[in-house]
Every structure is written in C-alpha cells, then in structure tokens.
Amino acid sequence: MRLDQEKIEIALKIARQQPYLPFSLHIYNSVNSTNKTLWELLQNGAPSGTVVIARQQSAGRGQRGNQWVSEIGGLYISTAIAIDLAATNSYQLTFATAWGIARQLQKCNIPVGIKWANDLILNKRKLGGILTETKISGSTINRVVIGVGINWSNPVPETGINLESWQSLNNITCIPDLENLATQALLGIESGIECLLEEGVDVLLPRYTDLLTNIGDSLYLENSQGTVIGVTSSGCLHVRMENSESKSVKTPDFYLQPGTISLGYSNFSN
C-alpha cells in the first residue's frame, strides 16, 4: 500500500511554521533507487526541495557502493537541495543530515546515536544510513541529493534493528506509522541543513560529535593502539595514538578518510 502523501504534507505543515526547505513530495511503492529516481526528476526540471519517498528499493546503494538491502516496510527517502559549498566540504552534508535526523528522533524519546560517518544507531545496532551524492561545478557543489534509509518494519540482519519492533518492546508509540517516520526524517534533514548553512560547521561539528558513538573506541593502526577522539570538518575520523616505541608510528594522530576503514558492529547488545 502506498504511503499517504497528504498525511505527510499535513504533518509537515503543522510542524513547520517557517519552512527552510520547500519540500515537494513524490511517493512511490517501489523504485530501483530513490536517489536515482530523484536525479532523473531533477534532469527533467524538478526544483530544489523535491523529495522522493518509497517503501521499497530494488537497487539501493550504501557507502562505498555497497548494496543497501531495501525490503518492503522500510523508509527510503531522498531530498534534493540547491547549495553553494566547497567540494572539499561535501561530508559536512552527511554530518548535518545524520545529526538532524538523530536529534529529531531523540525528541521522540528514541535514543538514536551516530556511527561514523553516516549510520544511525539504536541499541548499538544499525537503524539507518545516509548516502549523499553531489553535482560539482568547478570546485563548488551546486546540487546535492541526500538519500536516507531507516528500518521501520522490514526484516533486518543481526547487526540491524527496526524501529517498529523497538518501540513495541519499549512501550513507546511516539512514531505510530511510516508516514510519521517520513515526517520526522524530513524535519531532521531540514534542521541539519539549516544548522550547517546558517550557523556553520563550527556549530554543527560539536553537535554531531556529541551523538557520535565511536568516541573513546580503540583502534589498531600500524600495529599500534589508538583512541577515537573526534572528527574533522572534512569528515575524517581523528584517532590519537598511544605512546609507542614502534618506528612505524611517526605521528601521534591519525586522520582517517571516510570509506578507508569500517568500524563494524562487533559489540552490539540484545
């Protein structure tokens, strides 16, 4: 059954007294990819603020080109935004989206955190993920499509979690249906992008870091142990290495680019 577009639009109107992004919704039961569908709409003249929402994707993609399993019952949503941002700062868009959605769900009493760089975490399991794609002119991003997938009632792997089941187990009904989840996701995207563009990355980055579940984690790099202490404005994970006599460690700090290492989900709980 297709999502109720009018229900989402009414909820957005009630929640947004002064809209920052001009959302225009396009609802589908199933698409190959919400990001791909949205790029096609943009090529045909769709404006900034166009949103594609589907209940299923047949060819969803995640970080590093990995397949994103997108079974029926999840929320798959992509939003187009016209923007003027240095290409070197592209990961700030992912940080803004992750922080905005996590913070919005926290307002609903759902303790969502962030796993570097683009995963939404609940009970140490993956609740959702973000895939940001950009169009660049020269050295400047002028258009971005932000894709978000959130598990609602869809089957998930052992390292995943869906929100409907979690709410049932915890006697929480703040988000009653997929339409409400779509509304919360859009509000989160909007608040995150507004924070980045109006307040700047110096304000956004500490807010993102406050929700980052990796802070304090131990990593082994070049046969030495280090501790995650933060992230940089370019998206790098900042790792402080312990004092070591190893000649292979020539600097006390490492800065890991997104996609160069997978932190995994080895310590999830029931």
> What percent of the chain has pLDDT above 90?
79
Q: Give the tens place of pLDDT for each residue, 119-133.
A: 999 999 999 999 999
Mark whether 45 and 80 lie in a shared domain: yes
Q: Chain centroid to CA 22: how far?
A: 20
Pairing of strands 237-241, 224-231: antiparallel
User: Is the residue at 268 inside a domain?
Assistant: no
Mark whether 45 and 140 lie in a shared domain: yes
Mark whether 155 and 222 lie in a shared domain: no
The residue type at 143: R
Question: Phi and psi dihedrals of 124, rounded to 5?
Answer: 65, 15
User: Is the residue at 263 inside a domain?
Assistant: no
Q: Give the tens place of pLDDT for each residue, 37-69.
A: 999 999 999 999 999 999 998 865 555 555 555
Average pLDDT, the chain: 91
Looking up residue 86, the CATH number of its domain turns out to be 3.30.930.10
The pLDDT of residue 269 is above 50: no
- Which DSSP helix (H) or strand (E) runs through 254? strand 253-256
Confidence of residue 266 (pLDDT cuts 50, 70, 90): low
**More confident of the two residues 219 and 1:** 219
Residue 237 belongs to domain spanning:
218-256
User: Is the residue at 225 inside a domain?
Assistant: yes
pLDDT at 68: 55
Q: Give the tens place of pLDDT for each residue, 178-195.
A: 999 999 999 999 999 999
The pLDDT of residue 235 is above 50: yes
Pairing of strands 125-137, 119-122: antiparallel
